[in-house]
Amino acid sequence: MAAALGTLVFYSEFDDFETWKKALQAQLPTLQVVHATAVERPEDVHYAMAWKPPAGFFQRMPNLRLIINLGAGVDALVARDDLPPGIPITRITDPQMGRMMAGYVLFAVLRHARDIPHFEQAQRRGEWAYRHPRAHADITVAVLGLGQLGAMAATEVQRQGFRTLGWSRSPRRIEGVACRSGMDTLDEVLDQADIVVLMLPLTPETRGLFDRARLQRLKRGAAFVNVARGTLVDQAALTELLESGHIDSATLDVFEREPLPAGDPLWRMPKVLITPHLASVAIPESSALQIAANIQRVAAGQEPEHRIDAMRGY
């Protein structure tokens, strides 16, 4: 019989505990999976899988070996001041999650490329407002952030025949995508883009990267898509540039404040599509494969994969 793996504690207000427990135990039958509210012996907990747990959460468990961020974005986790030192942190990097995100990004890119906001407005006026479609090859899409999610999205975009630019911190190679790296190349990428897609993690370097000056650099009539984090962008400046028409339209899944407050002017903008932070979510059945492999690695005294670098911020 396989040796017992010990206990994993689960905390999330957004994800269903029983579904995750079933998915994890299907991979690791000897792993005890316990909800944070039901932990009797915190000293027996070796693994914590959590999304935005309360302050002091990890400090209750003196024998933790692994922290699993229940999501792809780790900004909320690495910003905490109560992380136990030296415990590896991993995040969800599931191909199914990448596919869901790539689907959303492709939808958003096509929405702008095919002038759907224009037709939606015309329909509301009862108007047959013909606008000749542009060829995909004549539209440049810039995908900023080429990580687990961004690389997959950029690949899908280029497969549709768009001229696709990619941007990251270190050099990347993606077939069909013209990749640039480093801060000194960002403006050159933006200057060419008809559609800008933000897929960067929120870090001290990227917070506020899209300030007023940078947003003003976007081509007149460009479209803006943000599926990363709201605080990468000066939202007031984005709103003004949308109002003035400098930025034509936007698809926004993330905001400076979430939920987006009821009176926010973005709600009323006819060419802005707002979705409530769900471009992609962790899927228990497929994510459990990656989580289980990491738990087995740690139990065997090895380094987990996809470890995040808290200093770098992602």
Catalytic residues: 229, 277
Binding mask 95-124 for ligand NDP (x = CB under 6 A): ------------------------------
Q: Is 169 in the site for ligand NDP (CB under 6 A)?
A: yes
Q: Any contact of residue 73 with ligand NDP (CB under 6 A)?
A: yes
Q: In the complex, what is the shortest distance from the CB of residue 251 to ligand NDP, in angstroms, rounded to a whole number?
A: 11
Least distance from C-beta 215 to ligand NDP, angstroms?
A: 17
Applying CB under 6 A, the site for ligand NDP has a residue count of 29
Contact between 170 and ligand NDP per CB under 6 A: yes
Q: Which of 72, 179, 196, 298 binds ligand NDP (CB under 6 A)?
A: 72
For ligand NDP, the binding residue among 12, 148, 235, 290 (CB under 6 A) is 148
Q: Is 251 in the site for ligand NDP (CB under 6 A)?
A: no
Residues 77, 69: Cα–Cα separation, whole Å: 7
| From 77, 190, 228, 241, residue interacting with ligand NDP (rule: CB under 6 A) | 228
* Residue 201 binding ligand NDP, by CB under 6 A: yes
Please report how close the Cβ of residue 85 comes to ligand NDP at its closest, in angstroms: 22
In the complex, least distance from residue 283 CB atom to ligand NDP, rounded to whole angstroms: 12
- Contacting ligand NDP (CB under 6 A), which of 28, 77, 149, 288? 149
If one asks whether residue 77 binds ligand NDP (CB under 6 A), the answer comes out as no
Give whichever of 40 and 184 is closer to ligand NDP, judged by the CB atom.
184
Site membership for ligand NDP, residue 53 (CB under 6 A): no
SS3 readout for the chain: CCCCCEEEEEECCCCCHHHHHHHHHHHCCCEEEEEHHHCCCHHHEEEEEECCCCCCCHHHCCCCCEEEECCCCCHHHHCCCCCCCCCCEEECCCHHHHHHHHHHHHHHHHHHHCCHHHHHHHHHCCCCCCCCCCCHHHCEEEEECCCHHHHHHHHHHHHCCCEEEEEECCCCCECCEEEEECHHHHHHHHHHCCEEEECCCCCCCCCCCECHHHHHHCCCCEEEEECCCHHHECHHHHHHHHHHCCEEEEEECCCCCCCCCCCCHHHHCCCEEECCCCCCCCCHHHHHHHHHHHHHHHHCCCCCCCECCCCCCC
Give me the sheet containing 89-91, strands edge to edge: 31-35, 6-11, 45-50, 66-69, 89-91
What is the closest distance, in whole angstroms, from the C-beta atom of residue 219 to ligand NDP in the complex?
20
Contact between 94 and ligand NDP per CB under 6 A: no
Distance separating the N- and C-terminal Cα atoms of the chain = 38
CB of 191 to ligand NDP, least distance (A): 17
Chain residues in the site for ligand NDP (CB under 6 A): 72-73, 145-150, 168-170, 172, 199-203, 205-206, 227-229, 253-254, 277-280, 314
